[in-house]
Amino acid sequence: MVKRPTINHLLYGLTAVLVTTALILFFSPVAEHSEKNVQLIQAADAGMPLSGPVSYSHAVKAAAPAVVNVNTTKVVTVRSHPFFNDPLFRQFFGDRVINGSQVRKKTENSLGSGVIVSPQGYVLTNHHVISGADSIQVSLKDGRTASAEVIGTDSETDIALLKIDLEELPTIHIGDSGKLEIGDVVLAIGNPFGVGQTVTMGIVSATGRNQLGINTFENFIQTDAAINPGNSGGALIDANGNLIGINTAIFSKSGGSQGIGFAIPTSMARNVMQQLIEHGHTIRGWIGFEGHALTEKLAQSLDLKSFDGVIVTGIVRNSPAHEAGLEPGDIIVAIDGTDIINGRDALLIITAKKPGENITLDVIRDSERLSFTAVTVNRPEKAVESLN
């Protein structure tokens, strides 16, 4: 009778101690401080640098001498004011004077940028910078100037290749744009507004941007480094001074930089440049059809389980697609065994082919899956083929 209450008292006492200890640990600021320390240690262990370099002057010194100004001159025809066609005006001044004043020539100058990519004098720039130019003058940072010869242009990627004849040319190292990651530091070098060579800094905002309606083939690097008129054709470099893009376009409502600029990656520019050097033009496969990506509503109306694929909306007569048996209304779901999600997928696969190569198209026609084989030809300069 004596032992039972003693054991009960011990159990009650032990329970009270445990509860009290738990409450102290739960509400103790020391415990909260300890937990925060653990979180801070985890963040520090992530391996992220706490600060970046204070200067990118080494990158600019390596790349800037190879970035040039591209000055173009174009002679345009300007028609006179419509009032010259007024009968009363003609009667007063005479037809001979009026007709002689109807048309006049005017010289227009424009300014862009370019990048020297080889000691042989090859200069990469944009097609739109030199399009229609009657003469092209390249100015180097060291003060030298030279007339430029157009080796070739590709309007579908907006790349142009020039050549200048000067000795001891500075060149830029071409980097690997495929290794770029969002958040990487980049610098844009060019001649905005004609004020002289200028460097701006930002980061890679996105890669692989497409369907912007700027070019036929789009795989842009997006950056918030300030790009303004005159920067076109200039260099986008990484933090080590390697060329990773050709500055091409800006998204702007005011005409100035809004923090959204686009550059053609070196992976695309290098491929186009090589073809221009070897052939004077680009070589891409073409089979001659027009198509549009399926929408969910259209897929439902056709009783399709998926809305991946491209519906053929037009066929060029006597084209490889026409000869292969493709018809409007066919839905292309795969090309050479690769599933097609949208028109861009189809365009890239077809244009990657060389003329004379076979290409296999899997299509759905009247709920039946069929296969057609076409032989690609060289893509025309103004291809009818449109894939959206």
Q: Is pLDDT larger for residue 195 or for residue 175?
A: 175
SS (H, E, C) 255-279: CCCCCCEEEEEHHHHHHHHHHHHHH
**Superfamily per CATH, domain 67-163:** Trypsin-like serine proteases (2.40.10.10)
- Shared fold status for 177-279 and 285-378: no
Rg (C-alpha) for the chain, rounded Å, is 32
Q: Is the dihedral of CA 12, 18, 21, 26 positive or negative?
A: negative
Tokens coding 100: 């002689």
Question: Which amino acid makes up residue 355?
Answer: P
- Measured CA to CA in angstroms, residue 236 lies from 177, 229, 271, 295 at distances of 10, 15, 17, 37
Write out the CATH class of domain 177-279: mainly beta
C-beta atoms surrounding 58 within 10 Å? 12
Computed over every residue of the chain, the mean pLDDT equals: 83
Tokens coding 72: 């173009």
* Domain regions of the chain by residue span: 67-163, 177-279, 285-378
- What pLDDT does residue 213 have? 82
| Correct CATH for 285-378 of 3.30.70.100, 3.40.190.120, 2.30.42.10, 2.130.10.10 | 2.30.42.10
- Rounded to whole angstroms, how far apart are CA atoms 187 and 203? 8
- Whose tokens are 């842009």? That residue is 220
* Most confident region among 81-90, 151-160, 339-348 by mean pLDDT: 151-160
Alpha helices (runs of H) in 28-131, residue ranges in sequence order: 29-44, 57-63, 87-93, 95-101, 127-130
- What pLDDT does residue 294 have? 84
Q: How many helices (H) and strands (E) does the chain have?
A: 10, 21
Give the residue numbers annotated as catalytic, written as ranges. 128, 158, 232
What's the pLDDT tens digit per position in 186-244? 999 999 888 889 999 999 999 988 878 888 888 899 999 998 888 999 999 999 999 99
Cβ–Cβ < 8 Å for 35, 25: no
The band of 94, judged by pLDDT with boundaries at 50, 70 and 90, is: low
Cβ–Cβ < 8 Å for 220, 265: yes
Cβ–Cβ < 8 Å for 83, 90: no
Which residues have CB under 8 Å from 88's CB, separation 6+?
none
Residue 360's Cβ-count burial label (10 Å; 0-12, 13-18, 19+) is: middle
- What pLDDT does residue 23 have? 58
Question: Which amino acid makes up residue 54?
Answer: V
Q: What angle do CA 160, 162, 163 make, to 5 degrees?
A: 160
- Rounded to whole angstroms, how far apart are CA atoms 18 and 237? 64
What's the pLDDT tens digit per position in 39-93? 544 544 445 555 677 899 999 999 999 999 999 998 876 655 555 566 665 555 5
Tokens coding 15: 């329970």
Q: What is the dihedral of CA 282, 288, 289, 293, to 10 degrees?
A: -20
Cβ–Cβ < 8 Å for 293, 314: no
Tokens coding 97: 């004077």
Residue 139's Cβ-count burial label (10 Å; 0-12, 13-18, 19+) is: middle
- What pLDDT does residue 44 have? 47
Q: Is pLDDT larger for residue 134 or for residue 17?
A: 134
Where are any strands of DSSP class E within 192-260? Answer: 198-209, 220-223, 235-238, 243-250
pLDDT at 1 over 50: no
pLDDT at 356 over 60: yes
Cβ–Cβ < 8 Å for 221, 236: yes
Average pLDDT over residues 158-163: 96
